[in-house]
Amino acid sequence: MNFEGTAVAMITPFTSDDKVDEEGYRENINFLIENGVDGLLAAGTTGESATITHEEQKALVDILVDEVDGRVTTIAGAGSNSTKEALDLVQYAENSGADFALVITPYYNKPQAHGLIEHYKTINNNSDIPIIVYNVPSRTGTDIDVETIANVAELDNIVAIKEANPDLDKTSKIQKILLENNLEDKFAILSGNDDLTVPMMSLGAKGVISVIANVDPIRTTQMVNNALDGSYEKAMDLHYELYDLMKVLFIESNPVPTKEALNMLNRPAGNVRLPLASLSDKNRNLVEKTLKSLDLL
């Protein structure tokens, strides 16, 4: 089993008293499905996994699986800097009926390459759900190197990497190793950076786990589908149409600008949890201007 297309790294909406907004979460799920996305990710880093509790994280996965009801692919955020905690979350995702678990490289403790292999091997050997590795060195302090990715890709249940290292040469190196080892049908590269989705797909990536699709799922999905079809001129046109949105949604720490954009669009979002704080007035004006330029507001 593998994934291609547009998955949304969903925000976690909160109520005014800082509880998970289940009704709003279900509303967002249906909005995104109705606007053509291929998959939804619960409790990833865009979903504020660092500040939600494990109980909330598991509840979000349950809500996602229940509300989606087989209509699109479901991906459960299930990473931790503790292998035991990550395995517990992966096993919960499997038991909940999620299609995939997204497992970030352990953060802060900066494991060695052989430690990363053992981390993913332990999860692989103690679960059956397909695993997507998430590499985001700007957040974790660890960049899983190409050789380590090649080793991890051999594991039965490790089926993809969400690659958020902006080095496109690395994408080429991963794809070259996959081709040389006949793993291109077993293991997929997915973009973890919206602004690099089209370039990465031209090098062999199969889609994106997207932040901007929270705000503009229609054009994001069209961009990815055109790239999958080999219509790169159309994909490039949409890339540049969305480019300002790709940049402004990261003008402050993710998901602060995205939540502000959704609040402007009267879609469930609410606050971010501390230590993240509200968007500055200056940047709020830039987000508003960008939404207007795309006729979203």
The per-residue pLDDT for 83 is 94
126 inside domain:
yes
The per-residue pLDDT for 60 is 98
CA distance 89 to 281: 37
The per-residue pLDDT for 6 is 98
248 inside domain:
no
127 inside domain:
yes
237 inside domain:
no
Establish whether 134 is a catalytic residue. yes
CA dihedral for 106, 189, 220, 169, sign (positive or negative)? positive
Establish whether 162 is a catalytic residue. yes
The per-residue pLDDT for 150 is 95
In the predicted model, residues of the chain with pLDDT beneath 50 are none
The per-residue pLDDT for 248 is 98
11 inside domain:
yes
The per-residue pLDDT for 211 is 98
58, 134, 170, 206: the catalytic one is: 134
Within 8 A by CB and 6+ apart from 285, the residues are none
* Helix, strand, coil content of the chain in percent (nearest 5): 50, 15, 40
Split into its structural domains, the chain has a count of 1
Whole-structure pTM value: 0.97
Domain CATH number, residue 43 = 3.20.20.70
40 inside domain:
yes
256 inside domain:
no
263 inside domain:
no
25, 58, 120, 162: the catalytic one is: 162
The domain containing residue 110 runs over which residues?
5-231
